[in-house]
Structure 1
Amino acid sequence: MRFTLPLLLFISPLAFGQKQYTEGACLLLQHQMAQFAHQPNSHNYQSAKREFDNHCQNPIPAPVKDLVLTNIPAKPITVGGVKNTVTIKPVNNTAAAKAATPPPVKPAPAAAPKPADVLTALFAPVLVFFGSILALLLMLAMVIVLLAFVAARYGARIKGALAERQLHRILLRELPTSYQHYRNLVIPTAKGDLTEVDHLVVSAYGIFVIEVKNYRGWIFGGEKQPQWTVQRFRSKNQFMNPLRQNYKHTEAVKHLLGLNGKDTEAVHSVVAFSQRAEFKSQIPKNVMYIDLVGDYLQQFYLPCFGDEQIRQFSARLNMALSSRKVLTKMHLAQVKAEVKG
C-alpha cells in the first residue's frame, strides 16, 4: 500500500501542474490515513494527511465513459429441451441515452389575435395623441387661471408700472442731458408722513412733478372736481382728481428742497395719461398724454435756478434716493395702516 499510493499519484494525469487530485487518488489517501490512524505521528499518516489537506479539498471528478461489456461469456439457455447460446452484446450508454431522450416537441401554432387586441393596437397611437393634447390643454388652462389671478390682484400696479416706464423712455430720449430725472422717489412731507413721486425732473427752467395714470376708457373731469370718472362700455368708476393727488407730491418736493417764496412758483404739477384713455371733457393744460410730456416740459425756457441751487437740489434728492429701500418699506406700512383705518 505504501508503494501503491506514490505510484498512483505519479501516474495520475493531474499530479504535475495541478493543485487538486482526482477523486480516486483522494480515496486512496483517505484509506491510508485510516490504516495508520493509530500511529498519527508516523511518516505514512502525516504524509497522507498533508497530501489530502492540500490537494483534496475540491477533487477532480473522474471522466464519464460509456460502459462496454466485452468480457461477458455467452450464457446457455434451455428452451424446450434444446440448449441455445445467447450472446449479450455490449451496451452503448450513449445510444441508450439518445434512445431515452424524448423527441423534440413541435411548438403549437400561435393563436390568432382577437378583434379587441387588433382594435387596441390600431387606436393606441390615437389615444396617446389625444392624451397629450388633453394634458397640454389642462396646462394651458392652469396658466390662464394663474394669469387671471395675477391680473386681478396686481393688474393696476402692473399697468401703472408699464406707463411709468414708457414715460421714462420718452424723457430720456427727448430731454437735454442737463435735465435730472428721478423715478419712484419716496420723500417725506411737512407733516412727517411719506409720499411717492412717480417722476421728478429738475432743471434750471423749473422742477416738474409728474403723476402717471394708465386708465382705459373715457375720462371725465375738471380741474376743481374732487372726483374724476373713467367709463368703459357700461362700467363707470370714480377716482381721485389726479391734480389734487399730485398737489401733495409737489408740496413734499418743496419741503424736501427747502423752497419758499417765489421759488415755489417754479415747481410745476403735471399729470400724464396713457393712450388707453380718451378725454371726453375739457381738461387743464397740465393734463396730457404721455408722449406729449417732453414737449410740454421744454416750453419752459426762462431760467429759474442757478447752478449752485441745482447742486443743492441734487444732493438732497440723491440722499433720498440712497434711502429708497427703507423709505419704500415705511411707505408701504403707512399705506396699509391707512387702508385698515
Structure 2
Amino acid sequence: MRWMRFTLPLLLLFSPLAFGQKQYTEGACLLLQHQMVQFAAQPNSHNYQSAKREVDNHCQNPIPAPVKDLVLTNIPAKPITVGGVKKTVTTKPVNNTAAAKAATPSPVKPAPAAPPKPADVLKTLFAPVLALLGGVLAMLLLFAIVLLLIAFVAARYGARIKGALGEWALHRVLESELPTSYQHYRNLVIPAEKGDFTEVDHLVLSPFGIFVIEVKNYRGWIFGSERQPQWTVQRFRSKHRFMNPLHQNYKHTEAVKQLLGLNGEDGDSVHSIVAFSLRAQFKFQIPQNVMYTDLVGDYVNRFTQPCFSDDQLRQFSARLNMAKAGKKVLRKLHMQQFTMRT
C-alpha cells in the first residue's frame, strides 16, 4: 500500500485546512478511514496508528466538499445533506453559445414551388365568372318558380280574381258618383224562388228605385244578343262562351223582389244592370241596360222620380241588412248547392 503513503500527504497538502486548520475535508477523511480499515488487522502498525490519529484529531467535523454548478436548466433548488448538515443546492443555466448553436437546427432551404397546372390557372381565372353565373342561374330559377306560381294561381283562381277586380272597380264608381243617401250592398247572398241561393254582385237602394248590378270583367270582343242563352267572348283565336248576363241577372232581380216582398208596380222599380269592363268591345247592338262600368253611376242618377216611401226604405234596409249579416252562412250553402250541380 505504498500509494497510500504518497496520496495521503498530497491530500493533506492540498486540503484547505492543512495549515492552521484543525479539520480535514470530507474526501481526506474518507481516505483516512479507508486506510484504517485496510490496516485494522495490524493495530500496532505505523499506518494504522497514523491514520487513526489523524481521524480522531481532524475528522470529527469534516469540511464539506465545494459544490459545483450542475450543467442543467429549469431545475428547482433541491436540499441535500452533507456530513449531517442540510444545505440547499441551486443550479444555474449554462451559457454555452456553442452548445446553443449546436442544438439549434440549421435552417432548411425551401424547395422551389412547383409550377401551377393549366387547370388550376383556368380555375383561378374563371372563378369570378363562375360565381357570377351561379348567382344569375339562382335568380333565373327563382324567377321561373314565381312565374309557375303565378300561372298556377291564374289557372285556378283567374276567374275569381278577374271578377273581384271588376267588382272593386264598380264599387269605386258607385262610391264616388252616387249620393251618400243611397245604400250600397256588395256580394249579397239571398234565397231564390226555387229554394236555392243566388249571389248579387252589387245592389243600390234609393228612393228612386232598386238597382241590381251584375259585373263582367271579360277582355276581348263580345258577341251575343238580348235573347241568346249564351254569349261569346273572343280574344285573338281564343273563344269562351258564358251565360247571357241579362238572363243571369233576371234571376237576381226576381230573388230581390221575393226578399223585399215587391210585386206589381213596386216590382217594376227593381232595375237590372249588366256592367262590363272597358277591356270588352261589343260586336252587337247593346241593350239599354248593358253598359261599361264607368257609365253605371250616370245611368242610376237618371232616375229622379220617387217610388218608395221612407217606411218602405227602412223595411227594405232591415231585410237587406239581415241578409248581409248572414252572408257567410248563406254563401256556404250557396257554394254547396253550386258544387252539387256541377
Say yes or no: TM over 0.5. Answer: yes
Amino acid at match of 1:102: P
Amino acid corresponding to residue 237 of structure 1 in structure 2: H
Deviations 1:137-172 (A, max 9, x none): 111111111111111111111111111100000011
Kindly indicate whether residue 162 of structure 2 is the aligned counterpart of residue 159 of structure 1. Answer: yes
Aligned equivalent of 2:323, options 320, 325, 339: 320
Counterpart of 1:200 (choices 203, 207, 210) is: 203
Query: Is 1:293 matched up with 2:321?
Result: no
Corresponding residue of 2:333: 330
Deviation at 1:173, TM superposition (A): 0.6
Partner of 1:95: 98
Q: What SS does structure 1 have at the residue aligned with 2:215? A: strand
Q: Does 1:127 align with 2:181?
A: no
| 1:280-306 deviation digits (Å, cap 9, x = unpaired) | 111210011111111111111100001
The offset of 1:133, in angstroms, is 0.7
Instruction: Please list the CA deviations of residues 40-62 of structure 1 after superposition, one character each: whole Å capped at 9, or x if unmatched.
Output: xxxxxxxxxxxxxxxxxxxxx96
Whichever of the two has the greater Rg, that structure is: 2
Distance in 2, matches of 1:178 and 1:262, equals: 23
- CA distance 1:248–1:63, change in 2 (3 Å): farther
Identify which of 93, 96, 110 aligns with 1:65: 93
Give secondary structure in 1 for the equivalent of 2:93. Answer: coil
Asked if 1:253 corresponds to 2:281, the answer is: no
> Aligned ranges for residues 71-82 of structure 1 at < 5 Å?
none
Question: What do residues 72-100 of structure 1 show as CA deviations (whole Å, max 9, x unaligned)?
Answer: xxxxxxxxxxxxxxxxxxxx755334324
Report matched runs for 1:168-317 at 5 Å.
Answer: 168-317=171-320
Percent identical: 70
1:221–1:283 contact (8 Å) kept in structure 2: no
Deviation per CA, 1:82-127: give whole Å up to 9, x if none.
xxxxxxxxxx755334324332223234333333222211111011
Aligned pair 1:24/2:27, yes or no? no
Which residue identity lines up with residue 191 of structure 1 in the other structure? K
For residues 184 and 259 of structure 1, what CA distance do their matches in structure 2 show?
A: 21
Give the TM-score normalised by structure 1: 0.72
- How far apart are 1:318 and its partner, in Å? 1.0
Listed one character per residue, the Cα deviations across residues 197-241 of structure 1 (whole Å, up to 9, x for unaligned) are 000000000000000011122112111211112222233322111
Q: Give the SS at the match of 1:185.
A: strand
- Counterpart secondary structure, 1:110: coil
Gaps of 5+ in 1: 1-21, 33-60, 67-91
Cα distance 1:269–1:23, how it changes in 2: closer, same or farther (>3 A)? same
For residue 285 of structure 1, give the secondary structure of its aligned residue in structure 2. coil
The CA distance in 1 between the partners of 2:261 and 2:90, in whole Å, is: 116
| Aligned residue number for residue 56 of structure 2 | none
Which amino acid counterpart does residue 212 of structure 1 have in structure 2?
Answer: V
Please name the residue that 2:61 is paired with.
Answer: none
Give the counterpart letter for 2:109 in structure 1. K
Whole-Å separation in 2 of the counterparts to 1:298 and 1:250: 19
Contact map agreement 1:212 1:272 (CA 8 A) in 2: yes
| Corresponding residue of 1:49 | none
Match of 2:147 in 1: 144
The answer (yes or no) to whether the contact 1:185–1:197 under 8 Å persists in 2 is yes
Counterpart of 1:190, as a letter, is: E
What's the counterpart of residue 37 of structure 1?
none
Kindly indicate whether the alpha-carbon contact (under 8 Å) linking 2:77 and 2:91 is maintained by their aligned counterparts in 1.
no
Aligned position for 1:111: 114
SS, match of residue 250 in structure 2: helix
With over 3 angstroms needed to count, the CA separation of the structure-2 counterparts of 1:100 and 1:265, relative to structure 1, is closer
C-alpha spacing 1:109/1:259, structure 2 compared with 1 (3 Å): same
- 2:78 aligns to what SS in structure 1? helix
